[in-house]
């Protein structure tokens, strides 16, 4: 039934339909005061659409029943018809009243019925010869009702838990293989319905007998004709017209040949109606008498597979309706609606089903996207259930088989032919594997093997995803702590011995092996600087398994043997627990270091570098301010000359001397202490951008651009600094133009160097 979308989807688009506004009543009337003619026309449109959709729903319900009670069970077809019609009546009523789309039409579906047919066939094979026919049928009836109720309970639970998004996590090849496998089972069931027995290799030759060809060839021709016209013409009346023409043609041939109804029934061209003239309804009398519960319990895995099949189909159908009608459909609401409907249908002995994509689009195209259409469908099916037993004598069995051929063939075509341009060869291989296993072994086995194969290929493909997002050295990547010029050059020179790797994704045995190979190649490269510190930044790591911890241990051993240190940053609490880190960030067992932020790790590495060059660092600090001014103004006595234009400031800890948004009036030179640049976010939080120490300049960008301060600067410790205001720089330019020009050139060079460092950082990230 879901494949009706191919018949009506293009017609909907051709009509220029762009969406339907959900009405608040069963039959909303547009306009404030509609005329009696408009009201009558609107009601007539809705009733006609409901009857057309209802007759098609009844026809498909009977086809589904023929699929469920086929071969050895075909003599009980009236039972199956009653179960499918009852299911359609309840499904259409409940979902029409509770769906997120008001024009939703629902019915018992072949795609779920084929699973029930497999279970019913298995029950018959198990009980045949041991139990009577009555007990077998009773067991199948209870199995269908129980499966429908279980499906409804599961769907409703998924909807309540708002798990409609689960459809996004089903592997596409598994979905394709499942749908193609369902197509094969429906086609196989169609042959069973037409021939009256289950086809096998031993009975293939009988298909070429003239009597058999006369049955299955028209059914195949009907399916081919309907499928071709639906794809190329896209008319919404293709199926109804084809059914009417097929019925007229069949009865015309019967009239010309002078065949009696008894002859047609005897030769298997039409079903025999119930002896009492009514379609049998389940759960009458003593429904549980003779039921073999142990046999039903043995089929539990297949029933659970049907639950998964139905849940996936509900999400597919609902998503397809929303996409075709260009409107939002609440998947969770559809799950709850289908769950409540199936739960109710199961208690009433009805067969499972869900939202009918094709019939819903047909009702919309006929101009009746209202909830009352679903109610009309239920009423029409109820009339057929009560008074339509005689229809079985006038509708040819090949017509039901042709409808099944069309549905199953459409699934096979879409998921074995059309899909080839959308998936890789490996994914297509999974689709074929699932179809072959479903056809040769069984439905459950095919799904399980398909999921397992998809998982294996996913692991293989995911292991090929680069675990290293970028790799660079501290020569280009610096911490937020800004040092003086000499110290900065010292850190840049020795930064090549600190390697930073930003990791990404889920780390497992496949990806951590690639990481280990990369680190080995880097450490063993003779032309590369020796690595003293290896930082693994795990900010983008979503998780890791136990094998990944062992992989990190191997990397740690290699780094330790080379005299280096392994540092991990940005670990989530779960991953930290896996590594066994203590509160001080040190893992004594593995000799690992951990820091909450990458910047903290870079600061730690820079401190280790500076500790190894204490003499140079102390020399820089002792003559910091004088050396700094000599370089800035390109004059050995610049500090003494410029001092009259400067203001000396002594700040206590936590003192703010630059405020975000304030006018930029001065630039500051730090002589002693430490300050932090902080950015105030929109929600009032403070984010530290960088830290500056002796020999650095702060506020130079806003000072040069004459713009408001973009961040605040706060003293972390007792700080001594010198400030140069714009007015004093103007006065200095008049008195010492050479020194002023040299200072402005220095500021330009500083900003150019920072831009160059940023370019180098970008180059490292992109290569």
Over the stretch 13-46, which tens digit does the pLDDT of each residue have?
A: 333 333 333 333 455 544 445 677 777 778 888 8
The tens digit of pLDDT for each residue in 196-218 reads 777 777 777 778 888 888 888 98
Query: Is the pLDDT reported for residue 451 higher than 50?
Result: yes
Please give the Cα distance from 647 to 510 (Å, whole number).
Answer: 61
The beta-carbon contacts of 577-582 under 8 Å, at least 24 apart in sequence, are: 578/544, 578/546, 578/549, 579/549, 579/552
**Tell me: the pLDDT tens digits for 452-474?**
888 888 777 777 778 888 888 88
Take residue 601 and report the two structure tokens written for it. Answer: 């790790």
Predicted confidence (pLDDT) at residue 760 exceeds the cutoff of 70: no
Nearest residue to 357 via CA among 179, 609, 548: 179
What pLDDT score does 374 carry? Answer: 92
Q: How far apart are CA 494 and CA 473, in angstroms?
A: 10
Token pair belonging to 523: 């450490």
Res 276: pLDDT: 55
Q: Is the pLDDT of residue 563 over 90?
A: no
**Cα–Cα distance measured from residue 476 to residue 472, given in angstroms and rounded to the nearest whole number:** 7
Bridge-based pairing state of the strands 675-680 and 686-692? antiparallel
Residue range 59-75: mean pLDDT, rounded: 82
Q: What tokens appear for 255 in the block?
A: 């009239």
Identify the pLDDT of residue 87. 93
Reported as half-sphere exposure (CB side, CA atoms, 13 A), residue 428 has a value of 12
Tell how far CA 58 is from the center of its chain: 35
Q: How far is CA 603 from CA 389, 608, 741, in A?
A: 85, 9, 35
The stretch 4-8 carries a mean pLDDT of 35
What is the residue-averaged pLDDT of the chain?
A: 80
State which H helix or E strand residue 519 sits in.
helix 509-524
Q: How confident is the model at residue 387 (pLDDT cuts 50, 70, 90)?
A: confident
- Residue 557 has φ and ψ, to the nearest 5°, of -60, -40
Q: Which residues contact 314 (CB under 8 A, 6 or more apart)?
A: 155, 334, 335, 338, 354, 355
In DSSP notation, 472-488 reads EETTT---SEE--HHHH
What is the pLDDT averaged over residues 509-528? 82
Give 82-107 pLDDT, tens digit per residue: 899 999 999 999 999 999 999 899 99
| H helix or E strand, kind and range, residue 376 | helix 371-387
The span from the CA of 5 to the CA of 11, in Å, is 10
Report the pLDDT value the prediction gives residue 144, as an integer from 0 to 100. Answer: 92
Locate tokens 């549905």: which residue? Answer: 407
How far is C-alpha 389 from the geometric centre of its chain's CA atoms? 46
pLDDT in tens, 612-641: 766 555 554 444 677 778 878 888 888 888
Buried b or exposed e, range 469-486, using 16+ CB within 10 angstroms: ebebbbbbbbbbbbbbbb
The C-alpha atoms of residue 301 and residue 308 are separated, in whole angstroms, by 11
Residues in the chain: 767
pLDDT band at residue 338 under the 50/70/90 scheme: very high
Q: How far is CA 746 from CA 484, 644, 723, 727, in A?
A: 14, 20, 16, 19
* DSSP symbol at 366: T
Domain ranges of the chain: 2-17+35-458, 465-612, 623-766
**What are the φ/ψ torsions at residue 473 (nearest 5 degrees)?**
-105, 165
Task: Classify residue 467 as exposed, middle or buried by CB count within 10 Å of its CB (0-12, 13-18, 19+).
Answer: buried
The two three-digit tokens of residue 555, written as one number:
């990397």
Question: How far apart, in whole angstroms, are the C-alpha atoms of residue 744 and residue 725?
Answer: 13
State the Rg of the chain over Cα: 39
CATH number attached to the domain at 623-766:
2.60.120.10
pTM for this prediction: 0.59
Q: Give domain 465-612's CATH architecture.
A: 2-Layer Sandwich (3.30)
The mean per-residue pLDDT over the stretch 290-305 comes to: 87
3-state secondary structure 191-260: HHHHHCCCCCHHHHHHHHCHHHHHHHHHHHHHHHHHHHHHHHCCCCCHHHHHHHHHHHHHHHHHHHHCCC
Q: To which H or E segment does residue 287 belong?
A: none
- Closest by alpha carbon to 552, among 592, 504, 505, 596? 592
pLDDT of residue 407: 79
User: What is the three-class DSSP state of 539?
Assistant: strand
If DSSP states are collapsed to H, E and C, what string results for 584-617? CCEECCCCEEEECCHHHHHHHHHHHHHHCCHHHH
pLDDT range class, residue 340, cuts 50, 70, 90: very high
Answer for the pair 345, 46: CB distance below 8 angstroms, yes or no.
no
Who contacts 257 (Cβ-Cβ below 8 Å, separation ≥6)?
Answer: none
């Amino acid at each position: 039934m879901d494949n009706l979308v191919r018949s009506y989807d293009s017609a909907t688009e051709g009509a220029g339909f762009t969406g339907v506004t959900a009405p608040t009543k069963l039959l909303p009337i547009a306009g404030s005061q509609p005329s009696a003619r408009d009201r009558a026309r609107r009601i007539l449109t809705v009733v006609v659409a409901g009857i057309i959709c209802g007759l098609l729903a009844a026809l498909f319900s009977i086809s589904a029943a023929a699929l469920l009670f086929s071969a050895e069970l075909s003599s009980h077809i009236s039972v199956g018809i009653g179960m499918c019609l009852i299911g359609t009546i309840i499904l259409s009523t409940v979902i029409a009243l509770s769906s997120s789309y008001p024009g939703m039409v629902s019915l018992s579906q072949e795609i779920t019925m084929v699973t029930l047919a497999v279970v019913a066939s298995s029950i018959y094979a198990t009980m045949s010869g041991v139990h009577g026919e009555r007990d077998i049928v009773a067991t199948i009836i209870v199995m269908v009702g129980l499966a429908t109720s279980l499906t409804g309970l599961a769907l409703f639970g998924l909807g309540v838990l708002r798990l409609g998004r689960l459809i996004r996590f089903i592997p596409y090849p598994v979905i394709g293989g499942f749908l193609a496998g369902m197509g094969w089972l429906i086609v196989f069931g169609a042959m069973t319905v037409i021939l009256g027995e289950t086809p096998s290799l031993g009975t293939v030759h009988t298909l070429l007998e003239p009597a058999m060809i006369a049955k299955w060839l028209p059914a195949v021709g009907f399916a081919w004709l309907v499928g071709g016209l639906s794809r190329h013409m896209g008319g919404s009346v293709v199926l109804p017209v084809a059914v009417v023409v097929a019925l007229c043609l069949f009865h015309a041939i019967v009239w010309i040949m002078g065949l009696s109804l008894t002859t047609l029934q005897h030769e298997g061209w039409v079903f025999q109606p119930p002896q009492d003239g009514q379609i049998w309804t389940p759960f009458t009398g003593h429904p549980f008498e003779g039921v073999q519960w142990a046999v039903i319990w043995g089929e539990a895995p297949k029933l659970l597979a049907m639950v998964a099949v139905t849940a996936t189909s509900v999400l597919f159908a609902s998503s397809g309706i929303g996409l075709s009608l260009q409107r939002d459909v609440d998947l969770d609401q559809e799950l709850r609606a289908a769950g409540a409907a199936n739960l109710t249908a199961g208690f009433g002995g009805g067969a499972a089903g869900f939202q009918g994509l094709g019939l819903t689009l047909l009702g919309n195209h006929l101009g009746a996207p209202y909830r009352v259409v679903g109610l009309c469908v239920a009423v029409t099916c109820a009339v057929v259930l009560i008074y339509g037993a005689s229809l079985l004598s006038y509708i040819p069995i090949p017509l039901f088989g042709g409808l099944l051929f069309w549905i199953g063939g459409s699934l096979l075509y879409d998921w074995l032919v059309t899909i080839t341009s959308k998936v890789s060869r490996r994914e297509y291989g999974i689709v074929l594997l699932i179809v072959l296993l479903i056809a040769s072994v069984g439905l459950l086995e095919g799904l399980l093997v398909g999921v397992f194969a998809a998982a294996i290929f996913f692991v293989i493909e995911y292991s090929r995803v680069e675990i290293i997002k970028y790799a660079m050295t501290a020569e280009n990547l610096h911490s937020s702590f800004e040092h003086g010029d000499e110290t900065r050059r010292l850190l840049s020179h020795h930064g090549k011995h600190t390697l930073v790797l930003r990791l990404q994704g889920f780390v497992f045995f496949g990806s951590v092996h690639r990481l280990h190979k990369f680190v080995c190649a880097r450490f063993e490269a003779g032309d590369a600087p020796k690595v003293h510190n290896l930082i693994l930044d795990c900010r983008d790591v979503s998780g890791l398994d136990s094998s990944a911890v062992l992989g990190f241990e191997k990397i740690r051993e290699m780094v330790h043997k080379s005299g280096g240190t392994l540092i991990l940053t940005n670990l989530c609490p779960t991953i930290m627990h896996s590594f066994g880190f203590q509160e001080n960030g040190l893992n004594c067992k593995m000799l690992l270091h951990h820091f909450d932020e990458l910047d903290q790790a870079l600061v730690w590495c820079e401190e280790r570098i500076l500790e190894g060059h204490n003499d140079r660092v102390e020399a820089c600090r002792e003559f910091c301010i004088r050396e700094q001014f000599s370089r800035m103004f390109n004059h050995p006595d610049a500090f003494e000359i410029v001092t009259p234009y400067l203001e000396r400031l002594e700040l206590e800890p936590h003192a703010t001397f630059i405020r975000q948004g304030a006018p930029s009036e001065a630039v500051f030179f730090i002589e002693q202490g430490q300050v932090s640049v902080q950015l105030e976010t929109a929600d009032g939080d403070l984010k530290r951008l960088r830290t500056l120490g002796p020999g650095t300049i702060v506020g130079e960008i806003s000072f040069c651009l004459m713009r408001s301060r973009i961040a605040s600067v706060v003293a972390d410790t007792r700080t001594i600094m010198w400030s140069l205001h714009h007015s004093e720089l103007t006065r200095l330019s008049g008195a010492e133009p050479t020194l002023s020009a040299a200072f402005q050139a220095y500021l330009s060079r500083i900003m150019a160097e920072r831009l160059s460092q940023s370019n180098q950082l970008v180059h490292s990230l992109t290569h």
